[in-house]
Structure 1
C-alpha cells in the first residue's frame, strides 16, 4: 500500500514548466484539445513531453443523416411502445369480449408498424456495414 502511495506522489505534477510558442503551434495544440481527449493546453503539452498517446476523435460527417434517421426511428419506436402499453392497460381493464378483441386488433396493428420500423433499421444497418467494410 505504501509503495502505491509513493508512486502516486511521484506522478504528481510538482515541477512547473513554462514556455512560449508561436501562434501556429498554439493553434495546433488547440486543435488537439478540440479533437482529442485532452482538456487543456497543459494536458496536451504534458502528454507530448512525456511521450504519451493523445487520442484524437474523428467525426464522419457522412454519417450525420444516418444518425438522424436512426434517432427518428428510435423516437418512433418509443412512441409505439408507449401506445402499446396504453392499449394493453385498456385491454386488461376492459370487461367485455368485444372491447378486448378491439384492443387486441389495435395492438396487432402497432406491432405491424414495429415490424416495418425494424425493417428500416435492418436496411440502415446493412448500409452501414457495407460502408464500414469498404474501409477495411
Structure 2
C-alpha cells in the first residue's frame, strides 16, 4: 500500500545537503540514533539542526535478572491457569463421583502451586522495593 501524498508541499524534505564527518563523529551520531526515538542518523541531524528535542532511552541492566524471573513466573502462572480451566471443564462434564473427587484434588494441587508462585512474586517485589 502506497503512502498518501501530502498536500502541504512546504513540509516535504525536498532539499539535499551533503557533508562529510569523521568516523568518530559518525559513530556518535549512529549511537545517538540507536539510543533515541530517531529512526536514522539523518533524523538525528535534522533534529539537531532544527533545535528539536531528541528523547534518549536508558536501559537499566541491573534489573534484567529480576525482570526475567518475573516473566517466567508470569508464564508459569498462565500455564497453571490453563490447567485449572481444563480441570474445571472436565469436572463440570463428569457425572461420576470418584472422578469428580480426583479432579477436585488436582485443582487443589494447582491452586497450591499458585500460592507458591505468589510467594515467589512477593520475594521478587520485595527485592525491587529495596532497590528503590
TM-score interval for Structure 1 and Structure 2 normalised by the shorter chain = 0.7 to 0.9
Deviation at 1:98, TM superposition (A): 2.2
Alignment deviations for residues 33-71 of structure 1 (CA, whole Å, 9 cap, x no partner)? 221111111111011111111111111111111121112
Aligned to 2:61: 61
Q: How does 1:1-136 map to 2 (within 5 A)?
A: 8-131=8-131, 133=132
What count of residue pairs does the alignment treat as equivalent? 127
Once residues 21 and 83 of structure 2 are traced to their aligned partners in structure 1, the CA distance between those partners, rounded to angstroms, is 60
Alignment deviations for residues 92-126 of structure 1 (CA, whole Å, 9 cap, x no partner)? 12112222122112112111111211121122122
Instruction: Name the structure with the higher helix share.
Output: 1
Structure 1 moving runs of 4+ over 2 Å: 8-12
* TM-score for both structures, normalised by structure 2: 0.86
Root-mean-square deviation over aligned CA pairs: 1.7
> SS of the residue aligned with 2:56?
coil
> SS of the residue aligned with 1:117?
helix
Once residues 12 and 18 of structure 2 are traced to their aligned partners in structure 1, the CA distance between those partners, rounded to angstroms, is 17
* TM-score for both structures, normalised by structure 1: 0.83
List gaps (5 residues or longer) in structure 1: none
List gaps (5 residues or longer) in structure 2: 1-5
Q: Which fold has the larger relative contact order, with Cα–Cα distance below 8 Å and residues 6 or more apart in sequence?
A: 2
